[in-house]
Amino acid sequence: MIIKPMVRSNMCLNAHPLGCAKEVENQIAYVKAQKAKRGTKSLKEGGNGPKFVLVLGCSTGYGLASRISAAFEYGADTIGVSFEKAGTETKGGTPGWYNNLAFDRAAKAEGLFTETFSADAFSHETRKMIIDEAKKAGKKFDLIVYSLASPVRSDPDKIDPNSETGAHVLYKSVIKPIGKTYAGLGIDILTDTLKESAAEPANDEEIANTVKVMGGEDWQLWIDQLAAAGVLAEGCRTVAYSYIGPELSHAIYRDGTIGQAKKHLEATAHALNEKLSKELGGAAYVSVNKGLVTRSSAVIPIISLYLSILFKVMKEKGTHEGCIEQMERLFAERLYTGDNASAGKVPVDEENRIRVDDWEMQADVQAEVDKLMAKVNNDNIKEICDLVGYKHDFYATNGFDVEGIDYTADVARMDQI
């Protein structure tokens, strides 16, 4: 069959198996090139980087890039968890399912230990399964990456009193402002035009539910249960990901429902840092990363427009990064800066956060973005915005618009890469 992108309401609803696999290969190639450039030694070469890494939310975005960095720059063995829909012979799977297949294939070809599980990362059953896998492998995790970005979370400890089947309470997150409506321009992917959109303010229940889904409660459960099971190594570190962004987006993001969840995540990092430091000589961090094209950012008022202008400005300055560039830099210049790529002293801000959004938030970058945001309209959008780059990232996330893939060719099966 010939597979073309299906876009509805600025969301891509399908994936191209070969394009997804090629994108993973491209990220691996980048990391290998950086390894050579930096002179990083893998574990087999006598390096002291991460050895056994658990990535929660391993299939796309920053989670996938983290796993690739750990495996292909440092030679780490990895376990990944994500909840994906598998492809069948005739029906497509999720992009993350194809990405996981591509990662496992490449890691095994390098002789690396790799296990990938499609499972509900919020459940105690999944935590027990991962603990059992670590014990079976005779390994202890020295890095846990928490990169879950789900719209829903099932509470593992609460049964819904209204459920006839004994189902657990289900929380749903929302991306909404708090206090008043937020409106702004965004980019319509299909028409290359500006489109006004608005988000109504969240109520108290929506705020609380978003914190339940996107905050630090589940991260805490993972670390507590892994520690209690004795599968965390001495010096173990854990890192979760966040975003702050510019003042213009704070009403919908940092000061909105997602921002409240991220503040909870950061508070959890402090608690986990104290726990790991005392028990294992380890540490916990939140890494604040650069704004990138994701399924959610494409539909948040103002964010898509901001990102398309940001990309243009940063590319002109030579500082633009995607997921893999960000995570490779996080590992090489923040987490593993000691002798022979061992865990070194981590530079952090006053809130103990790692900042790899530093280039995005430089004063000259933000000043130029603000200037362009003030004058963009439908007549000059193609000159002011990096529409080509933004749309490439939007489509490539699902395996489309990837160089080297013939999109006119027939794809025989949807359960292979």
pLDDT tens track of the chain, all 417 residues?
Answer: 999 999 998 899 999 999 999 999 999 999 999 999 999 999 999 999 999 999 999 999 999 999 999 999 999 999 999 999 999 999 999 999 999 999 999 999 999 999 999 999 999 999 999 999 999 999 999 999 999 988 999 999 999 888 888 899 999 999 999 999 999 899 998 999 999 988 999 999 999 999 999 999 999 999 999 999 999 999 999 999 999 999 999 999 999 999 999 999 999 999 999 999 999 999 999 999 999 998 777 778 789 999 999 999 999 999 999 999 999 999 999 999 999 999 999 999 999 999 999 999 999 999 999 999 999 999 999 999 999 999 999 999 999 999 999 999 999 999 999
Domain assignment present for residue 196? The answer is no
Is 62 annotated in a binding site? The answer is yes
Is 30 annotated in a binding site? The answer is no
Is 372 annotated in a binding site? The answer is no
Domain assignment present for residue 14? The answer is yes
Is residue 114 within 8 Å of 104, Cβ to Cβ?
yes
Is residue 15 within 8 Å of 415, Cβ to Cβ?
no
- Domain with 226 in it: 7-153+207-301+321-362
Alpha-carbon gap, residue 67 to 110, rounded angstroms = 14
Q: In what helix (H) or strand (E) does residue 34 lie, and over which residues does it extend?
A: helix 17-38
- Choice among 241, 253, 336, 390 that is catalytic: 253
Alpha-carbon gap, residue 102 to 8, rounded angstroms = 27
Is 119 annotated in a binding site? The answer is no
Domain assignment present for residue 375? The answer is no
Domain assignment present for residue 23? The answer is yes
253 is catalytic: yes
Domain assignment present for residue 276? The answer is yes
CB atoms within 10 A of CB 371: 12
Domain with 149 in it: what CATH number? 3.40.50.720
Domain assignment present for residue 367? The answer is no
Is residue 310 within 8 Å of 247, Cβ to Cβ?
no
Alpha-carbon gap, residue 324 to 331, rounded angstroms = 11
Domain assignment present for residue 333? The answer is yes
Count structural domains, the chain. 1
Domain assignment present for residue 125? The answer is yes
Is 199 annotated in a binding site? The answer is no
Is residue 356 within 8 Å of 289, Cβ to Cβ?
yes
Is 65 annotated in a binding site? The answer is no
Give the residue carrying structure tokens 């969240």. Answer: 202
